[in-house]
Structure 1
Amino acid sequence: MLAIVGPNGAGKSTLMKGMAGALNPLSGGIEIARGTRGGVAYLPQAAEIDKSFPITVFELVAMGLWRRTGLFGGLSKADRHAVEHALAAVGLTGFEARAIGTLSGGQVQRMLFARLLVQDASIILLDEPFTAIDAKTTADLLDLVRRWNTEKRTVVAILHDLETVRQAFPQSLLLARRVVAWGATSDVLTPENLLAARRMTEAFDDHAAICAAA
C-alpha cells in the first residue's frame, strides 16, 4: 500500500492518470509488468463523475465488468451476482435501481468502490478516495482497502489526510513536481520533508514565459 502525498499542484493526479494510462507523459515513460495492464483499476476524483448521466447504480457498477463482457455484451447470472455481492460489500443493497444523481457524496463513493470490486484488479489506483465523505464511509472504505492489501493486491492512493496515511499506509511518495522522498511513511512524512515540498511547489511559476532554445 502506497500513499501519494504532496501540496496542491504537486502533480499527484497527473502522475496517477499516467499510471492508469489516461495520460501519456511528455518525456520519460511508465512501465507496468507485462500482462498487468488489464489488471489495473482506476478510481478518479469524485468531482470527475457526471451525476447527471441517466444511469442506475447497478448499471454503473456493472461497467466494471466490461473487460469480460465487452462494451455491448449482456450480463450473465454470475455477472449479476457479482454486482449484487459488490453492492452488499459496500453497504448499498437495495440501491440497485436508484439513479446515480440521487446519491449523496458518500453513497457515490461506495458505488465507485463497488465497481472496483467487480473489476477484481491486481493494481488499484485511488485518486483522493476519502475526500468530502463522512467518517463512517471513510472507515468502511478504508477497511476494503486493507482487505485488498491482505489479498496481495497493489493499492496506490492519493491522500491529503496525513494521519490516515500514517495509520494505514506503510509506504509513501512525497511529490512537489518531483520526488521529495519515497519510502517508509515514518521516514517520508517528516516536518523537514513536508516543509521542503511546500516550498518547492510554491517556487514554481505556472505562468512563466517559455525560454527560447539556446
Structure 2
Amino acid sequence: MSKTTIRFDGLTLGYDRRPAVHHLSGEIASGSLMAVVGPNGAGKSTLLKGIVGTLRPLSGRIDVSLDVRSRIAYLPQAAEIDRSFPISVYDIVAMGLWFRTGLFGGIGAKDRTRIEEALSAVGLIGFERRPISTLSGGQMQRALFARLLIQDAPVILLDEPFTAIDEKTTSDLLALVKRWHHEKRTVVAVLHDLDVVRRVFPETLLIAREPVAWGETKGVLSAENLLKARSMVEAYDPYAEACSRNAA
C-alpha cells in the first residue's frame, strides 16, 4: 500500500472568509504524478497555496507527512515572480540550496557542481551570469526548474508551469517531470492543457471550487465531468455568506 503524503479532510480554503475551494477530502499517495484541472476561477492555485502553507484553511484540515512537511518545492505562476529583481540565472538557481545552507550559508564545491548539473539539465549552460530580466519566458521557466532540481524535494508543486512557453521548452520540462515521477517523488501540477494531462499524468483532480472527480485521468476528464465543472463555476455566487475560520 502506498504511503499517504498529503491528506485533505473536509478542507475549505478561501480569501476574506469566502471559500475558493471547499468540501475537499482525499489523499495524495507518495510518488503520485497528479494534475489539478478545472475552469478559470475553480480554486486550483488556491489549493497549492494551502498545501504549501501560505494559505490557512477556513475549515477542515490539510495533513502533510512529517518527513516532507518542510521539504516541499513550490513553483508559483509566472505572474507572481518579479522578473525585475537584479539577480543572475546562477543565483536564482542557487536559491534552491537555502533549505540546507540557510540564507547566509556558503556554497561549496559540491554545491557548485550541483548547480552546474542543474543548469545543464535544463539547457542553460552559458546563461549563468545573465540577469533574469533578460530571459525569455521559456528560459526563465528553465531556470526555475533548475532551482527545483537543486531543492531535491520529495514533494513538488507546479502552478501552471507550461503556460505561455514554447513547445520545445514544454517538452524538455515535461521530461524532468517524468524523471521526478520515476524517482518516486510526489508531483502535483495545476494545468490547463488537457492533452498534456491525458498524455503524461495518470491521476487527475478536477475541481470547480468543489471536487468534481478525482482518480484515473481517463475517467475524470470525461465530457460529462468537464461540462459539470464549467457549470458549477459559472453558477458560483461571489456574494454568498462568508465562512467562519477554524479556531485551530
Structure 1 counterpart SS, 2:195: helix
Q: Which residue of 177, 183, 186 corresponds with 2:215?
A: 183
Partner SS state of residue 38, structure 1: coil
Shift of 1:194: 0.2
Equivalent in 122, 125, 128 of residue 96 of structure 1 = 128
TM-score by length of structure 1 reads 0.96
Cα deviation, 1:52-109, whole Å, max 9, x if unaligned, reads: 0000011111001001111111111111111111000000001110000000000000
Give the distance between the partners of 2:68 and 2:96, measured in 1 at CA. 16
The alignment partner of 1:31 has SS state of: strand
Instruction: Name the structure with the higher strand share.
Output: 2
Runs of 4+ off more than 3 Å: none
CA distance in 2, matches of 1:99, 1:37: 32
Q: 3-state SS of the aligned residue for 1:98? A: coil
Aligned position for 2:61: 29
1:43 is aligned, of 75, 78, 97, to 75
Query: Structure 1 counterpart of 2:179, which letter?
Result: R
Q: Counterpart of 2:178 in structure 1: which amino acid?
A: R
Aligned partner (choices 160, 163, 177) of residue 192 of structure 2: 160
Match of residue 117 from structure 1: 149
Query: CA separation of 1:185/1:52 partners in 2, compared to 1, >3 Å: closer, same or farther?
Result: same
Equivalent residue number for residue 5 of structure 1: 37
Q: What letter is aligned with 1:24? A: R
Number of residue pairs matched by the alignment: 211
- Match for residue 94 of structure 2 among 59, 62, 82: 62
Q: Match for residue 241 of structure 2?
A: 210
Q: How much has 1:209 moved relative to structure 2?
A: 5.6
The correspondence for 1:84, drawn from 111, 116, 127, is 116
Separation in structure 1 between the aligned mates of residue 240 and residue 39 of structure 2, nearest angstrom: 23
What amino acid is aligned across from residue 52 of structure 1 in structure 2? Answer: S
Residue in 1 that maps onto 2:229: 197
In 2: Cα distance, 1:79 partner to 1:24 partner: 34
2:172 — aligned with what? 140
Letter in 2 for 1:210: E
CA–CA distance in 1 between the matches of 2:95 and 2:84?
A: 17
Paired AA for residue 32 in structure 1: V
Structure (1 or 2) with the greater helix fraction:
1
Cα offset, 1:39, TM superposition: 2.2
SS in 2 for 1:116: helix
SS at match of 1:42: strand
Segments of structure 1 that go 5 or more residues without pairing to the other structure are: none
Identity of aligned residues (%): 66
Residue by residue, what CA displacement relative to the aligned partner does 1:19-54 show, whole Å, maximum 9, x if unpaired? 111211111111111121122100000111101000
Letter in 1 for 2:175: D
Alpha-carbon distance between aligned partners in 1 of 2:204 and 2:131, rounded to the nearest angstrom: 37
Q: List gaps (5 residues or longer) in structure 2.
A: 1-32
* In structure 2, C-alpha distance between the alignment counterparts of 1:72 and 1:125, rounded to whole Å: 26
Quote the RMSD (CA, aligned, Å): 1.2
